[in-house]
Structures are given as structure tokens and as C-alpha cells.
Amino acid sequence: MKTAELKNILISHINQIDDESYLNALRTIIESKSNFSNSYLEEYNNELLIAEEEIEKGNYFSHQEVKDKMEQWKKN
């Protein structure tokens, strides 16, 4: 089933609903999905920019350094 087809089916079903609380619940679901996606992507992109800045400053550990630190932690 294509996206456009699915949207039309959902719209048809929603048009038949008269229960305001049910419609509000659907609205909440739809809005939370949209808000979550936008805020998640914005936060993710911001974290990538910060990470790239840290790398440029030399603030990172090599893979071997991380492995060595893990071995030290295991000994404690």
C-alpha cells in the first residue's frame, strides 16, 4: 500500500469519528511524532557540530587509548 493511499484511508476513518476525546488523542499522537522528530534531529545535529569542534581541538581518544583505559578500569 502506498503512502498516499494509506493517508486517504486514515482521513476517511477520521472523518467518521465524532468523539472529541478520541480525536484529541489522535491529534496528540500525530503532534508528538512531529515534534519528537524535529527536536530529535535538531539536537542530534547540534551534538554532531559540538563533536566535530572537539575533534578539531584535539579533544578525543584513539581506539587504543580507550581500550587501555578499559583495561585499567577492569583492574580496579
DSSP per-residue codes, 5-71:
HHHHHHHHHHHT---HHHHHHHHHHHHHHHHHHHHHHHHHHHHHHHHHHHHHHT----HHHHHHHHH
Predicted TM-score of the model (pTM): 0.45
What is the average per-residue pLDDT within 59-71? Answer: 94
Neighbours of 26 (CB within 10 A): 15
- Report CA dihedral (20, 25, 31, 36) to the nearest 10 degrees: 170
Q: What is the pLDDT of residues 3-62, one digit of tens each?
A: 999 999 999 999 999 999 999 999 998 888 766 667 788 889 999 999 999 999 999 999
- The three grid cell numbers given for residue 76, joined into one nine-digit string: 580496579
